Amino acid sequence: MTRKALITGITGQDGAYLAEFLLGKGYEVHGMVRRSSTESFERIGHLQDLISLHQADLLDQLSIITLMQEIEPDEVYNLAAQSFVPTSWLQPLLTGEFTALGVTRMLEAIRLVNRRIRFYQASSSEMFGNVAEEPQSENTPFYPRSPYGVAKAYGHFITVNYRESYDIFACSGILFNHESPLRGKEFVTRKITDAVARIKLGVRSKLKLGNLDAMRDWGFAGDYVKAMWMMLQQDKPDDYVVATGQKHSVRDFVELAFAHADLDWQDHVEIDPKLIRPAEVNTLRGNAGKARSVLGWQPDVSFPQLVQMMVDADLERIRLEVAEQTPACGSDTDSDG
Ligand code: NAP
Ligand code: F7E
């Protein structure tokens, strides 16, 4: 029997990688998308004939229940969230509605429709916030530093609670930062690689950043979606940290990214105090020992490989953009001019 998976947040970075991964495993893949007057299918355009998209909303309980009844999924991956940390200070209530209560709505739908559905919750290293120890594992206490981190801590604990209250196969994956050429351009890694490409190709000269000293445990999104799936294939539901175990500063990322394009970052980067956060998570480094020993998971892409992959992808994209804007020799535009 073909297994069915439902992915919320399928239009996001992880949703796109997970959809592709599950299709490769022979799954029938369904994606939940919220209604919008313009489509945001940029990341999954190449998969659209292979997956089914359904309108529903994390704010609307009935739409989620109806969706579960219609699709009858074997596995649900809850990736949808307001995921950008700075926005969570500007929209703390909405962040709580989607990122925290949205998880309960998904779990309630499973409880009502079919308690045998396996559930993955996209939890976050942001829950560790002001870290109590290093590296952080499944046993490290949470001390979130943003409304986003607080909302994710709620999502984590409600997942654990439904597992313990109703015997639902619910797993929380505590994923550390993971990036890719599909990363949103507001996140620091992609903001940097996009700017490096534009500077290299002469369409821009400066890049404004905030705290260069912040340290993160950065991995590749393609490696991390595999861990999500592995969690749902176990005999027992559990929670797992997913990380590389290595940390680097934003400055390290900047240096490597500019150097890969033969540029000196100090000629281009400016510090903008407006980009400093009200409360910062200064450092994060994960201990993925449990994921390694129980799931057999390990990351394949190293930090330098990740930076180079992202810079190369942005260089290619911006090169195409520039070429499209430059009138070709002998074109109508030329003769008109
Ligand atoms: P992303 O690229 O920002 O994608 C978020 C997805 O959620 C998009 O499909 C988006 O749909 C949807 N979404 C956003 N706001 C929504 C809302 N208000 N209602 C319904 N859907 C909404 O995030 P990602 O990097 O793929 O991350 C996936 C999940 O993992 C998120 O829950 C994130 O918080 C969590 N996480 C991410 C990381 C990381 O480093 N990437 C680490 C730990 C945890 P639209 O296209 O309609 O906006
Ligand atoms: O910031 C610093 C910033 O926005 C990383 C989300 O996927 O991972 C992500 O959250 C660091 C912070 O990611 C700029 O202050 C400096 O210390 O790329 P980010 P994040 O906040 O770590 C976690 C695990 C998630 O769960 C989230 O959903 O970089 N930084 N200058 C900057 N950050 C941004 N965005 N922009 C800057 O100009």
Listed in order, the ranges of the chain carrying CATH 3.40.50.720 are 4-180+218-242
The one-letter code for the residue type at 16 is A
Task: Specify which residues 124 forms β-bridges with.
Answer: 175
pLDDT value at residue 325? 87
Q: Read off the pLDDT of residues 53-93 as tens digits, 9 standing for 90 and up.
A: 999 999 999 999 999 999 999 999 999 999 999 999 999 99
Parts of the chain belonging to CATH 3.90.25.10:
188-215+248-280+302-324
Fold for the domain defined by 4-180+218-242: Rossmann fold (3.40.50)
Q: Is 126 labeled as catalytic in the residue annotation?
A: yes
Q: Which CATH number fits domain 188-215+248-280+302-324: 1.10.10.10, 3.40.50.1970, 3.40.50.2020, 3.90.25.10?
A: 3.90.25.10
Neighbours of 234 (CB within 10 A): 14
Q: Which atom of ligand 2 is nearest to the CA of 282?
A: 17
Count of C-beta atoms within a 10 Å radius of residue 233 = 10
Contact 29, 5 (CB under 8 A): yes
Which one from 63, 83, 124, 172 is the annotated catalytic residue? 124
Q: 55-59, 179-183, 333-337: lowest mean pLDDT where?
A: 333-337
Q: Minimum mean pLDDT among 174-188, 289-303, 321-335: which range?
A: 321-335
- Ligand 1 pocket: which of 11, 30, 83 to mutate (most atoms <8 Å of CB)? 83
For the cut 60, the answer to whether the pLDDT of residue 330 exceeds it is no
Is the entire prediction scored with pTM above 0.85?
Answer: yes
